[in-house]
Structure 1
Amino acid sequence: MLQCITSNSCVRLIQTHKSTWYFLFLVLGYILYLIFGAVVFSSVELPYEDLLRQELRTIKKQFLQDNECLSEERLEKFLEKALEASNYGVSILNNASANWNWDFTSSLFFASTVLSTTGYGHTAPLSNAGKAFCIVYSLVGIPFTLLFLTAVVQRIMVFSTRRPITYVSTRWGLSKPLVAVVHATLLAIVAASCFFIIPAAIFSSLEENWNFLESFYFCFISLSTIGLGDYVPGESVNQRFRQLYKVGITVYLLLGLVVMLVVLETFCELQQLKTLRKMFYLKKEKPQDRLAILEHDHLAFTSVSHQTNASSVKEGKCKEVSMPVLTSPGGDDPMIR
C-alpha cells in the first residue's frame, strides 16, 4: 500500500513538472554533446598537432645548424615579433607585402564581419583609437543589424513561405502542415545549392590553394557566423580584381545570412517543431487562468472574512449569555430599591 502511494505521488510529481524534467534532460543532452565534440576533436586533431610541432622543431634545429652565427635567442625574438604581426594580419613575406588590410574594400569586408558577428580574426585593429571605435561601432551596429535582419526576414517570409503555403493548401486542398514540411525541405535544398554548393565551386576555382571541401567549409563557417578565420578569400598573392572580389564576398555574406535566417524561420514555423519546442518551454499563464486565480483568492478571502465575522458573532453571543445578572442585595425590599 505504501509503495503504491509512493509510486502514485512520484508519477503525479513528474506529470505536474513535466516541462522542468524535459528541460533538465535538454541541459544534460547539451552537456553530453559538448563532451562528445571535445572527445572527437581531440582524438582527430591532436596527432596532427603533434606532427606539426615535431616538423617545426626539426626545421628550426636545421636552420640554427646552417646559421651558426645566429643564436637561438635572437631567432626566438624575431619569430615572436613576426607571429605577433601575423595575428594582426600583417605579413613580412615579400609576396604578401602588396596586400593592404585597411584599404576601403578590406575595411568594408571587416565591418561586415563585425556587424554580422562572423569575425574571422585575420585582421584586427592595430591602434588604440581603432580598438575603441570598434567597441562603439559594434555596440551600436550589432543591435542595428539584428533589427535590420529581422525586418528584412519578416517581409521575405510573407512572400517566400506564408503565402505559397496558404495558396497551395487552399488551391489543391492539401493538408497545411504537410505542405509546410515539403516547402521547407525544398527551400533548404535551393538555399544549400545557391549559397553552399555553387559558391564552393566558384571559390575553389578562384582560390589557388582551396579544394571543393575547403571552399564548402568556408561557406558553412561563414554563413553560420562561426568565422574561424583559417580560410579567408581574397588574401592570396597577386589576387586579380582583389577590391571587386572583396565587395562581392561582402554582398555574398550579407545575402547568405538573410537566406539562412529565412530558412531557419521557415523550419521554426513547422507545427512539429513548435510542438517539440513547447516541451522545453515554461507554460504561459492564460488570462482565464489568472482570472480563476484572482477569483479563487477573492473567494478564499471572503470565506476567511465570513469565518472571522461568524466567530466574532459567536464570541459576542457567548459574552452576552455569560454576562452576570445584577441583583439587588436586598431582594424585593422596597426600602433598598
Structure 2
Amino acid sequence: MLLSLILLLYLSFGAALFNYLERDNEIREKSKYAKLLKSVRASLCGKDAKQCNDLDRLLELHGNLSAAGLLSQRERFDISGAFFFAGTLISTIGFGISTPRTTIGRMSTIIYGVIGCTCCVLFFNLFLERVITVLTFILSCLDGIEDFWRPSLYKVFAILFTICGSFMFISAYFYSATEGWSYTDSLYFCFIGFGTIGFGDFVPNQQVNYKYSSHLIRLANFFILSFGASSVYCLFNVSSIVVRQLLNWLIKRIDIKINDPVFCWRRKPQRYMGLGLRPPQGLYISENDNGDVLLSLKDFLMNNRNSIVELHKQLIKSAEKNTSNEDKITANRVGPMGMLNEAFGDI
C-alpha cells in the first residue's frame, strides 16, 4: 500500500515535471508547422480546392510511410534488418522503427515473441545470478571469509551502479562518433535502449553509408545493447532491494511514531510478566501500578499451567504450518528476488 502511494506520488511529480519542460516546446513546434503548412498551401494551391486536397493526401501518405520506415533507402527486413527486429522484439526494447505489416507477420510475431521473451528473461536472470556470484567472490576475498558471511547489499549496488554508469558514458561516445548524434542525445539513447524502454526517436544502424565499416558497427551495436540491457537489468533488481529496505525502515519509523505516548493519546496496555499471557483470575494491573505486584515464578506457573499447555500446542501448530509453507511459491523465492534473497540473506 505504501509503495503504491509512493508510485502514485512519483507519477504525479513526473507528470508535472514533463508538462513544465515539454508542453511549451510542443506548442511552439505545432504553431511553427501550422504556419509553414499554411504558407505552402498558399503558394502551391492558392484557392484551388482540388490541389489542396491532393496536397493533404500527399502529406498524409508521406507521414504514414515515414512512420513505417518505408522512406529510408535501407531495407528494414533484409537479413541484418530482420535480425535487428528480432533482437528488439525478444529483449522487449521495441524501437518501433521496424514493424510487421502483413497479417501473417503480426501473428508470427506473437508466437515468436512469447517464446523469445521468455528465453530472454531467463537469460537476464542467469546473467544476474552470474554477476552476483562474481561480485560475492570478489567481496569475500576483500572482506575475508567468516561464518555466515553475506555480501553487503550496498557495496554490490555501488559496484553495479559504477559499472552501468561507466559503460553508458563510454557507449555514448561510440554512438556519437558513429551515428553523428550529439553526446547528450547519445547518452539519452543509451539509457532508453539499456533500460528496454525503446521510444524509437533515436535508432542506430539506420544510415546507408558510415565512416567506418558498417558490419563492424552493427556487430558492436549488438554487443553494446546486449551487455547494456543485461547490466541495467541487474542494477534495477538490486536497486529494488535497496528501495524495499528503505520502505521497511520508513514503515518502522512510522510505527514507532504511532506507538509513541507523546503522539498517541491511548497508552499501550501493559503485558503481564512480559510473556503475553493472561494474568491469574483476580489479579489486576492498573496503569499506575509501579510493578510491585509480581508473583513468584512457582505461583505463576501453577496458576497458568493451562495457558502454558495451550501456548505449547499453538507453537507446535505454528511450526507445522511454517514447515508446510516452505513448499509454497512466493515472490521472495522465485525469479530475481529469490536469487537476491539467497545471496544477501532474508531481505
TM class by shorter-chain length?
0.5 to 0.7
Distance in 1 between residues matched to 2:27 and 2:124, nearest whole Å: 43
RMSD, aligned CA:
3.0
Larger radius of gyration: 1
| SS in structure 2 at match of 1:259 | helix
Alignment equivalent of 1:111, drawn from 80, 86, 111: 86
Contact 2:68 2:99 in 1 (8 A): yes
Cα distance in 1 between the residues matched to 2:95 and 2:116: 17
Identify the residue that residue 328 of structure 2 maps to in structure 1: none
Aligned partner letter, 1:45: E
Moved more, 72-81 or 61-70: 61-70
CA offset digits 1:167-200 (Å, max 9, x no partner): 22117x8x96785534532342133112x11110
Alpha-carbon distance between aligned partners in 2 of 1:279 and 1:85, rounded to the nearest angstrom: 53
CA distance in 1, matches of 2:227, 2:319: 50
Tell me what 2:341 maps to: none
Which structure is higher in helix share? Answer: 1
CA distance in 1, matches of 2:187, 2:84: 19
Q: Partner letter of residue 57 of structure 2? A: K
Once the two structures are TM-superposed, the CA of residue 114 in structure 1 deviates from its matched residue by 0.7
2:42 to 60, 65, 74: 65
Q: Are residues 268 and 84 of structure 1, via their aligned partners in 2, closer, same or farther at CA, if it must alter by over 3 Å?
A: closer
**1:231 counterpart SS class:** coil
Match of residue 198, structure 1, among 163, 166, 170: 170
- Contact 1:109/1:246 (<8 A) preserved: no
Would you say the 8 A contact 1:87–1:123 is kept in 2? no
Whether the 8 Å contact between 2:139 and 2:151 is mirrored in structure 1 is no
The superposition leaves residues 274-325 of structure 1 with CA deviations (integer Å, 9 ceiling, x where unpaired) of 64465799xxxxxx988434899xxxxxxxxxxxxxxxxxxxxxxxxxxxxx
CA drift of 1:37 comes to: 0.8
State the distance in 2 between where 1:217 and 1:116 align.
19
- Map 1:185-224 onto structure 2 (within 5 A): 185-194=158-167, 196-208=168-180, 210-224=181-195
Amino acid in structure 2 at the alignment position of 1:46: R
CA 1:290–1:250 in structure 2 vs 1: closer, same or farther (change >3 Å)? farther
Give the Cα–Cα distance (whole angstroms) in 2 for the partners of residues 32 and 166 of structure 1.
Answer: 39
> Displaced runs of 4+ in structure 1, greater than 6 A?
175-178
Structure 2 partner of 1:5: none
From the superposition, tell whether residues 280 and 119 of structure 1 become closer, same or farther in structure 2 (CA, over 3 Å): farther
8 Å contact from structure 1 (residues 120, 227) kept in 2: yes
Aligned position for 1:307: none
Distance 1:243 1:130, change over 3 A: farther
For 2:2 and 2:22, the matched residues in 1 are separated by 30
Question: 1:52/1:237 Cα in 2 relative to 1: closer, same or farther (>3 Å)?
Answer: farther
CA distance 1:250–1:294, change in 2 (3 Å): closer
Higher relative contact order (CA 8 A, sep 6+): 1
1:171-190 alignment to 2 at 5 Å? 180-190=153-163
Q: Secondary structure at the match of 2:175?
A: helix
TM-aligned CA deviation for residue 156 of structure 1: 3.2
TM-score (norm 2): 0.65
TM-score, normalization by structure 1? 0.67
Structure 1 pair 220/290, CA: closer, same or farther in 2 (3 Å)?
A: farther
SS of the residue corresponding to residue 78 of structure 1 reads: helix
- Give the 3-state SS of the residue equivalent to 1:71 in structure 2: helix
Residues 277 and 146 of structure 1, relative CA distance in 2, 3 Å threshold: farther
Question: Does structure 2 conserve the Cα–Cα contact (< 8 Å) formed by 1:184 and 1:263?
Answer: yes
Equivalent-residue separation in structure 1 for 2:245 and 2:22 (angstroms): 39
The answer on 1:245 being equivalent to 2:217 is yes
| Residue matched to 1:4 | none
Q: Give the number of equivalent residue pairs.
A: 255
The percent identity for this pair of structures is 24
Residue 148 of structure 1: CA displacement? 2.0
Corresponding position of 2:137:
163
| Structure 2: runs of 5 or more not aligned | 252-312, 322-347
Q: Which moved more, 1:229-238 or 1:133-142?
A: 229-238
